[in-house]
Amino acid sequence: MATFRIAIVGAGPAGYFAAQALQNLTTEDKSFAIDMIERLPTPWGLVRSGVAPDHPKIKTVSKVFEKVATAGNFRLFGNVELGTDVATTDLIDRYDAVIIATGSSLGRKLGIPGEELFGSLSAADFVPWYNGHPDYKDLVVPVDCETAVVIGAGNVAMDVARMLALEPSELDETDTADHALEVLRRSAIRKVIVCARRGPEHAAFTAPELRELPKLEHTNVIIDAAEIQAALARVGDEAEKDVRSNLAAMELITQTDNSGRDRTMEFKFFLAPLEIRGTDRAEEIILGINNIEDGKVVATGETTTIKCGLVISAIGYEASSIHGVPYAKGKVENVDGRVVGTNVYAVGWAKRGPSGVIGTNKSDASDVVKLLIEDLPAQPKERGDITDLIVGHRIDFFCFHGTNTIYISFNLYGIWRRSLQRLLQRTFPSCN
């Protein structure tokens, strides 16, 4: 039997689904030794740092990933960064195929004046902050204001708005990061306004998420009923199923008692962000009022202002590029997952951009893996693997392998460096 070495870069859902597809497509004459390489010391990517903590059910997909990790011929190398610790070309040389599954971690920019002010944040920073991602633990989220504005009409905007509008005790039973809980507990924010630049019928929210909102115990959820009726009239009977479900869920919200609670989450439509204003921090946002003319969303030229101390934009993501991998339009340059002319493939958001729920990555990864297998040569390369590149080098990595999770920190230099760092921190506490 020929065993092909496959490297998967990124330990998020797309990476695990690609590994699962390889395991499922193992045959009597073709098997796969899978090495997953992850920049962080912990796996599961967005399941850990993207899914809202008040959605614990979605996180249970990690059980599937645990199964993949223990199904044999799978190793996870954590704390190893491609392009920094290990060169992409070195992986390409050693492995029969390299799958890029690094997602899209950069928040798209609004590109409006004032976006860089203190108090104006991207969901790409705020979401991993409340989920305990180590890179974002020091983010400063100003919550000393009455009103926060969230820009965007997708599920990330909705997660962000909910996290700001929930009574913090509702998060006690969740795995929200301690530092975020501490900030949210002293939050003065009582009103969160979600601004969509188009109409309710164009919103990218999904119906199950909308249907949860009337169940919030401590938060009034407000949508203007006239706005939803107008959208229903515009779409008529021709609307697609998703649009109809979304509008039905929004209509239900308009019919639900939305008073008497301390906190409010309000959805406003046809408002496009133009400028964030403030002296040293965000104090207000100027929004252009849009309208529909001949089925098209157009600017009316009129504006409205919302006073607020926090603005979070949730308008989509772009991939952070890896040296040695071609990128275009915020994702890996690929055709159906193939990086043409190479043994490199892309799956998940790195392949198709930031769309789809976690499950979308399963069929997507399976399709790409089928192509990858078609492209494999008759015989494996057998030119070594990642251990040639990291064992004995100045890389401080962890390896998890097989049913007994083995934890190995191979690098004495790393241990020495951490001990020295701790000693320095104890001796000179101000020096971090």
Question: Closer to ligand NAP at the Cβ: 206 or 256?
Answer: 206
- The reply on whether position 326 binds ligand NAP by CB under 6 A is no
CA distance 345 to 335: 9
Spatial CA neighbour of 19 closest among 57, 60, 75: 75
- The reply on whether position 148 binds ligand NAP by CB under 6 A is no
Out of 22, 99, 223, 314, name the contact with ligand NAP by CB under 6 A. Answer: 314
Draw the binding track, 270-289, toward ligand NAP (x: CB under 6 A; -: no contact).
Answer: --xx----------------
Residues within window 84-123 making contact with ligand NAP, judged by CB under 6 A: 110
Indicate the helix (H) or strand (E) that contains 264. strand 263-268
Draw the binding track, 348-387, toward ligand NAP (x: CB under 6 A; -: no contact).
Answer: ------xxxx------------------------------
**No. of H helices and E strands in the chain?**
15, 19
Spatial CA neighbour of 204 closest among 309, 357, 91, 81: 357
CA distance 32 to 73: 7
| Contact region with ligand NAP (CB under 6 A), list: 82-90, 195-203, 255-263, 411-419 | 195-203
Q: How many residues bind ligand NAP (CB under 6 A)?
A: 26
Question: Dmax of the chain from CA atoms?
Answer: 71
Euclidean distance between the first and the last CA atom of the chain, given in angstroms as a whole number: 52
Question: Closer to ligand NAP at the Cβ: 45 or 354?
Answer: 354
CA distance 342 to 323: 15
369-389 burial: b if 16+ Cβ within 10 Å, else e: beebbeebeeebeeeebbeeb
Tokens representing residue 180 in the block: 């975020």
Question: Closer to ligand NAP at the Cβ: 82 or 312?
Answer: 312
Question: Closer to ligand NAP at the Cβ: 18 or 312?
Answer: 312
Out of 25, 64, 181, 204, name the contact with ligand NAP by CB under 6 A. Answer: 204
CA distance 131 to 44: 12
Helix axes 155-165, 123-130, angle to 10 degrees: 50
Question: Closer to ligand NAP at the Cβ: 104 or 147?
Answer: 104
- The reply on whether position 266 binds ligand NAP by CB under 6 A is no
- The reply on whether position 245 binds ligand NAP by CB under 6 A is no
Question: Closer to ligand NAP at the Cβ: 165 or 372?
Answer: 165
The binding site for ligand NAP (CB under 6 A) comprises 110, 151-157, 159, 196-198, 202, 204, 206, 209, 272-273, 314-317, 354-357
